[in-house]
Amino acid sequence: MALLKFRVYFEDDYGVYRDVVIKHTQNFKQLHTCILSAYGFDQKHQATFYRSNDAWQHGREITLEKYDKVYRTEPLLMAETIIGSEIRDTNQHFIYEYDFVKNWFFQIELINVQKDESGHNEIPYVSRVEGIGPQQYGVGNVLNNQFLDIEEKYDLNKGTEGFGEEGDSADTEEEQTEESETEDF
């Protein structure tokens, strides 16, 4: 059984991505759920995948359900479409659109195919996280937690060198001289 590793970029920002590992026999609905979980999004909105190419053009649509819109070609359904059946190239691309009102777009590319020797119990899973992703409903606790992680990483705690309160440092010789001259008058 093959494991497919996809890199899921937020829109066209190549500094913000999640690597997702999934079996080639799993379906697009499972990939959809994993992507949303990786970016901290809920599963309340409409979604669709498009098979794509290196130029990120929209190809065959693989949708969560059949929506009330005009289709050029009948869409495939995520729950019924096996991922391996839509892989046409060793660097296959997909476009994933979530929440048709907010229009969240993700670019997905196949970056690795390997034998299932991972020993990982739950597949699909997120194998790598890069960059701070978007917040689905604005800034919230998730972003605050990410800043706490950054603070811990760089040790930006109060009281560390260079981060003292104003007036905490010892007076310089020049300031002490000026104060003593003022006292003489």
- Residue 134: pLDDT band with limits 50, 70, 90: confident
Name the maximum alpha-carbon separation found in the chain. Answer: 93
Q: What are the chain's domains?
A: 2-131 (3.10.290.30), 135-163 (no CATH)
Q: What is the pLDDT of residue 135?
A: 87
CA distance 2 to 24: 6
More confident residue, 171 or 49: 49
Res. 91: pLDDT tops 60: yes
> Environment class of residue 169 by beta-carbon count within 10 Å: exposed (0-12), middle (13-18) or buried (19+)?
exposed
Least confident of 11-15, 44-48, 176-180: 176-180
